[in-house]
């Protein structure tokens, strides 16, 4: 079974600074997808960024980028120029290309200080 | 434009009294999921439908059932809610590329 590990239960960043959230995963598969989801206090899960395992290029979405290290099974999220609205729980997630289920990490609570 | 809609947003039920949570989607996705999320925890997959094919997670209690009468709707039935079933229930759909679209959730309280 695939597992997703987020080793940082809480992180804090100063507004306008950069923060990196860590995620590692365990799988024996070669084809899969990785995601970062944001869940603000309203509890709606919002997709932040997505990475296909077969792509070597790291995904980027405006201020959000990932560092995907396939061999190390690492998938970290970098948030640049942090804004107060970035404060939320961030979940890393894994989905096999062969299966429909998605596995989530335990989450990292990000606080943004003004 | 709401894409995944969950009703109600808040549901209170009594211990042991059956309850049904509703999810609908306007995306025409063929996969729909139900997750349970307890406070400060990751969402836990309960089951999902691929079209009409039902896929139950091995550790989902029998107390939880689901129905999908058509592509747009999916229901979560809790036959005899216990206090431990109080949680946020998230519905999600999936496109062919695997992107998940989540609904806003239904917060279930069991009294």
* CATH number for the domain harbouring residue B98: 2.60.40.10
Q: How far apart are CA B89 and CA B74, in angstroms?
A: 13
Q: How far is CA A23 from CA A18, A35, A38, A49, B110, in A?
A: 17, 10, 14, 13, 34
Q: Would residue B91 count as lying in a domain? A: yes
Q: Does the distance separating the beta carbons of B104 and A104 come in below 8 Å?
A: no
Residue A98 belongs to a domain with what CATH number? 2.60.40.10
Q: Would residue B32 count as lying in a domain? A: yes
Q: Residue B96 sits in which domain range?
A: 4-105
- Name the domain count of chain B: 1
pLDDT of residue B15: 96
Q: Does the distance separating the beta carbons of B43 and A42 come in below 8 Å?
A: no
pLDDT of residue B1: 63
Of residues B93 and B95, the one with the higher pLDDT is B93
- What mean pLDDT comes out for the span B1-21? 92
Q: Residue A92 sits in which domain range?
A: 3-113
Contact A44, B101 (CB under 8 A): no
Q: Would residue B50 count as lying in a domain? A: yes
| Strands A46-52 vs A32-39: parallel, antiparallel or unpaired | antiparallel
Sign of CA dihedral B48, B2, B88, A79: positive
Q: Which residues of B touch A100 (CB under 8 A)?
A: 31, 33, 48, 50, 55, 94
Reported confidence tier of residue B97, pLDDT bands at 50, 70, 90: low
Touching check for A33 and chain B: CB below 8 Å?
yes
Q: Would residue B78 count as lying in a domain? A: yes
- Name the domain count of chain A: 1
B100: pLDDT strictly greater than 90:
no
Q: Which residues of A touch B38 (CB under 8 A)?
A: none
In a structure prediction context, what are the per-residue pLDDT tens digits for chain A, which is 114 residues long? 668 999 999 999 999 999 999 999 999 998 999 999 999 987 788 999 999 999 889 999 999 999 999 999 999 999 999 999 999 999 999 988 887 778 899 999 999 999
Residue contacts between A and B (CB atoms, under 8 Å): 54
Token pair for B4: 């995944």
Q: Does the distance separating the beta carbons of A91 and B104 come in below 8 Å?
A: no
Token pair for A114: 């003004």
Touching check for A44 and chain B: CB below 8 Å?
yes
Q: Would residue B110 count as lying in a domain? A: no
pLDDT of residue A42: 72
Name the CA dihedral angle for A67, B29, B104, B38, rounded to a multiple of 10 degrees: -70
pLDDT of residue A94: 93
Token pair for A105: 């990490």
Q: Which residues of B touch A48 (CB under 8 A)?
A: none
B26: pLDDT strictly greater than 90:
yes
- What mean pLDDT comes out for the span B54-61? 92
Q: How far apart are CA B31 and CA B52, in angstroms?
A: 9
Reported confidence tier of residue B63, pLDDT bands at 50, 70, 90: very high
- What mean pLDDT comes out for the span B25-38? 93
């Amino acid at each position: 079974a695939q597992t997703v590990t987020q080793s940082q239960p809480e992180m804090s960043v100063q507004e306008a600074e950069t923060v990196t959230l860590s995620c590692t995963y365990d799988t024996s598969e070669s084809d899969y997808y990785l995601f970062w989801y944001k869940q603000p206090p309203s509890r709606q899960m919002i997709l932040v960024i997505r990475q296909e395992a077969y792509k070597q290029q790291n995904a980027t979405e405006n201020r959000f980028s990932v560092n995907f290290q396939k061999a190390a099974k690492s998938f970290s999220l970098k948030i640049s120029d942090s804004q107060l609205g970035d404060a939320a729980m961030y979940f890393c997630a894994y989905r096999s290309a062969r299966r429909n289920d998605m596995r989530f990490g335990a989450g990292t609570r990000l606080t943004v200080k003004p | 434009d709401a894409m995944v809609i969950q009703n109600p947003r808040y549901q209170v039920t009594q211990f042991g009294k059956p309850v049904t949570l509703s999810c609908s989607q306007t995306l025409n996705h063929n996969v729909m999921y139900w997750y349970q999320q307890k406070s400060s925890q990751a969402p836990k997959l309960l089951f999902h439908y691929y079209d009409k094919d039902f896929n139950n997670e091995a550790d989902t209690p029998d107390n939880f059932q689901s129905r999908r009468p058509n592509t747009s709707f999916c229901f979560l039935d809790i036959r005899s809610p216990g206090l431990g079933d109080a949680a946020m229930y998230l519905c999600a759909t999936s496109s062919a590329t695997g992107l998940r679209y989540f609904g806003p959730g239904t917060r279930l309280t069991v009294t």
